[in-house]
Amino acid sequence: MELVFKNFFLFLSKNKVLNKSAKRWGLKFGASQVVAGETIESAIAKVKQLNAKGLVCTVDHLGEFVFNREEAIEATEYCIKTLDAIYSASVNCNLSLKMTQLGLDIDEQLCLENMKRILDTAKKYNNFVRIDIEDYAHCQVTLDLFKKLNEEYKGHVGTAVQGYLYRANDDIENLNGVNLRLVKGAYKEAAEVAYQDKQEVDKNYVKIIKQHLLNGSYTAIASHDHDIINEIKRFCKENNISNNQFEFQMLYGFRTELQEQIAKEGYNMRIYVPYGNDWYGYFMRRLAERPQNVAFALRGFFSK
């Protein structure tokens, strides 16, 4: 049943008609529980609240299904405005983004130019930009463009690796020294390229976390799984890995008590704070990840 739920919501996440309709609905159906509003101002307000609790943040202006250069340039402007707002508000926060939103499917050179504009702004403010990894079809081209950008903006740009992909271990080695966010993976991928069994995914995910930490590289561990989090805490203590070499990351709206507990224990705890009216695809993937998220969303909807 869990697999049926997952496949159903992943299927819905790619529905362009529903995505378009969702923009008109606004943040209904529980999405407001996990998306920090539709404007930069609402996102910054949430970041301030989280900072006050000892939590650092990364914000993401949500967007998918970009079809033309104008939309890609508009998304780029939003990213730049977001970095401006972070600086103006003096909050402890960086930026996350997806390259498909910046024109990756339209023209790779356009995407590269848009990324450079964003990273020029991040460098000016001494901030950091995380490039999210999307589905497998975009994985290699994203990493290829990242490597070009890292040559010019090292220290201001990082990316991510998905533990459910067979290629994850090789990616970790190839990205030695890079600030990486390590995730399990949230897209529906074929058995030819990704583990399908949860236990296998978990096993490989923990493996690449330890691999990157032992390489001496900064590691962002993006997980809500308390067993995995506790295992990594033990591993770091046993191997004398400083708390300054890694951070835990969680999504806005999920396991808030655990987030605050981890921060109080002295670990870096970063919250991924999405905002914007193009929330549909993100929300569907969150529902697909765990059946419990569906109940969480319904509670949020009926409590309004």
* Residues marked as catalytic: 132, 181
113 and 76 in contact (C-beta within 8 Å)?
A: no
The HSE-up count of residue 116 (CA atoms within 13 Å, CB side) is 12
What amino acid occupies position 15?
N
